[in-house]
Structure 1
Amino acid sequence: MAPTMCTPSEPWRLATLLLALATLGLGGCTEDAGEALLRDYQQALAERLEQPPPEPAAPDNIGAFPELRERRVAIPEVREGLLDVYALRECHITTLVAERNSALGRVAPASQRWRYELTLLERLESCLAGEAADRLAAPDLARLERLAATKREQLPAATWNGLFASEEWADNFSRVSSPLPPDALAPPPAQREALAYLRRLSLAPFDPEVSRPDPEALEGHLQALRERPYTAELLRTLMLAERRLEEATALLERRLAEEASCPAGGFPAPLKQAAAGPALADWLVRLEGAAETWLADLGPLFATLEAPPPAVAAYHREWLSREHAEAPLSAFRRALATHRERRRALAERC
């Protein structure tokens, strides 16, 4: 089948097609609003420098989030006989363990398994500290102490798997995404709240100064992260801005390479004073602020384990780091700084 073109021969057919697409929300020939800001600036800059506008190149795709097998860490299975678990019935863990070992429990989502580990450890340690422990036979008390110690030791890994093995978390990094609209650069409040909740839930068992949030709210916060792939959208926007700024910088460098060549009427250094510059300058500031805020919120969750899986550590360094030179935020900042410097150089010469 021949591809659909945006330039049919009869004008009335084009009008009909565009109206249908707009009605259905399928306007594939329309330009993203953030892209439009960048392209308008490129066009105005090219005209000011008396050069042809750049041919915009498509930014690279963002990196793929590691596969589930690369994100999950292995946790040794703890095996106890039914009679051994029943001997600890005053600790109120028999029903909990039975549910976890049922057919449904074995295929439960990662978030439910995380809640199970939190609840189990809480009941084991509460039992150890209560009167029920005094009534246990010596072998059963030793078993309770061993179980509590093992589960506490395993909790960081269980916490990691509860988050990083969840589909909701992975969906926030989906490559099936688009750049952010200019009026929606800021991190969604519900998603920032979700990250704060997840951070408290992961810290509370190990830090007495952190109040434990309600574990029952876990699925709701994960769902908030799934509703929109904000992380992926942010990365795409940073990469789009970097590419368009580099293209605009190339225009400046070509003019600078022409000795003693200046645009008529001089050239302003500040981006805000350029044609089409004020809106873009504001957009760039807001984009950088949104990226700094969001990546700072994400960082602690990627540090839940002292030694995270190599694929996840590499993804964080290459895509989510605020310091790594080749990560999108650093590359964007470098492209913006270079562009500003080239504007200053031309302004000083002219």
Structure 2
Amino acid sequence: MQPVPVDVVVIGAGQAGLSAAYHLQRRGYVPVGRAIGDVPTFVVLDAEERPGGAWQHRWPSLRMATVNGIHELPGFPVPAADPAAASRDILPSYFAAYEERFALEVVRPVRVRSVRREDEDPAGRLIVETDAATWAASHVVNATGTWSRPFWPRYPGQERFRGRQLHVADYVSREEFTGKRVVIVGAGISAVQLLDEISHVAETFWVTRREPEWSDAAFDVPARVAAIAGVEERVRRGLPPGSVISVTGMHWTPWARAAEQRGVLVRHPMFASIEEDGVRMPDGSFVAADVILWATGFRPALDHLAPLRLRTPEGGIRVADGRSLDEPRLFLIGYGPSQSTVGANRAGRAAVRAITSEKTGIAA
């Protein structure tokens, strides 16, 4: 089957992908299925069964009042919602309404198997192979995010543990831990939020690799923008992006304060190993556990880009201003400095400006 020609393939219909699609439309691109005549075209491919990106998989207790980040898409504000409503009940419907409002015609469910070069011509096309069709694109905007790649660190004895181990990606509610002893691993916002939540019904033991550096500064838009800038140099050099928390430190969120006031925000050093019924600490002491909850973050979902051979020896991809330095036809948004929602919105707009300026020969 011959590849379907298209100007831009957007991979992923989360925050970053929908932002890119919106800006493509604003600059005259149309979904490839509606193209008439010589107009620039795009297609958005999404692996999910329905709209909503990662929001549809968040745990039910993540409420609109405690959503971490700016989740508003460009050109269409989030409808007013009860702050106590679950974000996974509100935001997927908002994403669906967004796709319909702007007629983005997202193709789903489609899994991208690989992105490769058609030939050695640096101005040639990139071939996007999926389980449904193959596309030949002038540019690819990769917006696959991280939710599908939860990171599980490895520790000695991990396979011997007789209790339950789960990642925050699998978390449902605190009730499943009632009366249990839960070791919570991780220093991010999710770790602290779930520590506060679970500690109401269970005995918790919080461990991190490094002592958290708490900041009293508000984690507002300027703080988020500063965090985005903090990882720019890493991805430019081809280093793994790292976490925003590693740049900003830990901010005093309402749930962190609540946990502190109840005396459960007590950090312990990372355990040295895992045994059948708990964890062994660096000083040799033993902590019994029924559950280990790994709040250890996610990694970018980029395996489908492997044929492009962009990985550096350090394990990252060299990116500047959202664009691959070693494959200029590829943009990575929602990656590195654009991994937050506010960064993803800006990166989507910037990618489209760059693509448009090349096509027209006029600087955006």
Rg comparison, structure with higher value:
1
Q: Scaled by the length of structure 1, what TM-score is found?
A: 0.23
Report the structure, 1 or 2, having the larger helix content.
1
Report the structure, 1 or 2, having the larger strand content.
2
Q: Scaled by the length of structure 2, what TM-score is found?
A: 0.22
